[in-house]
């Protein structure tokens, strides 16, 4: 069982004990405009942050010291592409449970007529956050299995209910997936299966904003997220812990992935687009890495590994990451989400990602990094 210390404010029925965490210190003392701009209208941005310091005791045991800022799993935010992280891990589990399959086994999805592999889907998901790679794995697993497995892993109240950036994203029908483990024959892994209706979860703030755009028209009622994906920050943060520090968790809390496959996934998470053979002009180093480098197109040094998953849609930016600086011997976990939708209208593609959201996440991580450097 892991050793973990949670630092937070204690709220009692008769009193509130104030406390100051490193996150509070960073946010309140920062002189950087990217931080100050958000802090000046904090409630408007629905910021949530989780930060974990990682230490080793004299006996070699790993300890986590967890800090939270406004984290609330009952307060909804749209997770966007961060849901690709658990799907990638569950797909690796799927092939690990079938002796005739492995990450590189070719398969064909009903979504197209091209040969794919789970390994290549995972590479695309982490290198450039490819939506169709996620959609294929979603169809392979099905939302019933996905949500059942996440509940078994105690990562609830996560709900994965739909595909991304595609028509009829939430339909229950899934097409045929055919695996080709050898030249001698084929295995039909899934064929015309149907998932159950979307299960709603009891959380607050699932109707957001002043209105939304539909078919080119402004609908002046809050946007309804009650059937959208839900992946709270605590679940994201815990998942990262289990992926990189699984020995600190009980067996039933771990993903059933072989050591070799786990290492391949971790490498995919920090591999930059240029090293995954994507065009560097379109897919620069920080294309899907907001922490530390999101507000610049500078080259990320080789000694800094950002194992992460970002998501941005409907004005919400989210990132969860395990950050390692091999040169300075620094490591920490950081997860954060921020809403940047000044006009309160959803689906109008008018969001302050570049002006507010990404600079905030980049500077937040830089200040946490500096804290870690001084702490070391």
How many angstroms separate the CA atoms of 91 and 102, rounded?
10
Q: What is the pTM of this model?
A: 0.94
Pick the CATH number of 77-321 from 1.10.760, 2.40.128, 3.90.660, 3.40.710: 3.40.710
Collapse the DSSP code of 294 into the 3-class scheme (helix H, G, I; strand E, B; otherwise coil) and give the result.
coil
Query: What pLDDT is recorded for position 108?
Result: 95
Query: What pLDDT is recorded for position 11?
Result: 34
CB 321 within 8 A of CB 308: yes
Instruction: Report, as ranges of residue numbers, the positions in the chain whose pLDDT lies below 70.
Output: 1-18, 183-184, 376
Q: What is the pLDDT of residues 133-177, one digit of tens each?
A: 999 999 999 999 999 999 999 998 899 999 999 999 999 999 999
Any idea what DSSP says for residue 159? Answer: B
Strand ranges for 27-151 from DSSP E: 48-56, 62-69, 107-109, 115-116
Query: What pLDDT is recorded for position 302?
Result: 97
Instruction: Mention every residue, 6+ apart, whose C-beta is less than 8 A from residue 286.
Output: 293, 294, 296, 297, 298, 300
The sign one gets for the Cα dihedral 291, 293, 296, 299 is: negative
Buried b (16+ CB within 10 A) or exposed e, 262-300: bebbbebbbebbbeeebeeeebbbbbbbbbbbbbeeeeb
Q: What is the pLDDT of residues 288-340, one digit of tens each?
A: 999 999 999 999 999 999 999 999 999 999 999 999 999 999 999 999 999 99
Query: What pLDDT is recorded for position 97?
Result: 93
Q: Look at the block and give the residue holding tokens 């949670």.
A: 6
Query: What pLDDT is recorded for position 298?
Result: 95
């Amino acid at each position: 069982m892991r050793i973990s210390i949670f630092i937070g404010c204690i709220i009692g029925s008769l009193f509130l004990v104030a406390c100051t965490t490193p996150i509070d210190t960073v946010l309140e003392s920062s002189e950087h405009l990217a931080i100050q701009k958000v802090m000046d209208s904090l409630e408007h941005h629905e910021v949530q942050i989780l930060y974990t310091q990682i230490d080793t005791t004299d006996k070699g045991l790993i300890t986590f010291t967890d800090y939270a800022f406004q984290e609330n799993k009952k307060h909804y935010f749209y997770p966007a592409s961060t849901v690709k992280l658990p799907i990638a891990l569950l797909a690796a589990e799927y092939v690990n449970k079938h002796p005739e399959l492995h990450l590189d086994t070719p398969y064909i999805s009903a979504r197209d007529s091209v040969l794919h592999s789970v390994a290549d889907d995972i590479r695309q998901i982490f290198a450039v956050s490819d939506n169709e790679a996620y959609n294929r794995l979603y169809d392979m697993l099905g939302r019933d299995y996905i949500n059942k497995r996440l509940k078994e892993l105690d990562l609830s109240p996560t709900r994965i209910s739909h595909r991304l950036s595609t028509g009829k994203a939430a339909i229950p029908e899934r097409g045929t997936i055919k695996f080709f483990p050898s030249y001698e024959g084929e295995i039909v892994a899934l064929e015309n299966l149907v998932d159950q209706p979307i299960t709603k979860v009891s959380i607050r703030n699932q109707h957001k904003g002043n209105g939304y755009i539909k078919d080119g028209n402004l609908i002046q009622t809050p946007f309804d997220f009650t059937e959208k994906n839900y992946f709270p920050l605590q679940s994201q943060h815990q998942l990262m812990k289990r992926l990189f520090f699984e020995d600190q968790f009980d067996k039933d809390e771990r993903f059933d992935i072989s050591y070799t496959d786990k290492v391949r996934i971790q490498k995919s998470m920090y591999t930059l687009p240029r090293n995954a053979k994507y065009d560097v002009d379109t897919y620069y180093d920080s294309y899907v890495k907001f922490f530390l480098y999101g507000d610049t197109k500078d080259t990320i040094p080789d000694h800094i590994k950002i194992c992460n998953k970002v998501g941005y849609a409907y004005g919400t930016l989210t990132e969860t990451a395990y950050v390692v600086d091999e040169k300075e011997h620094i490591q920490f976990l950081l997860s954060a989400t921020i809403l940047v939708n000044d006009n309160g209208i959803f689906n109008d593609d008018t969001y302050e990602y570049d002006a507010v959201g990404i600079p905030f996440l980049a500077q937040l991580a830089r200040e946490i990094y500096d804290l870690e450097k001084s702490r070391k």
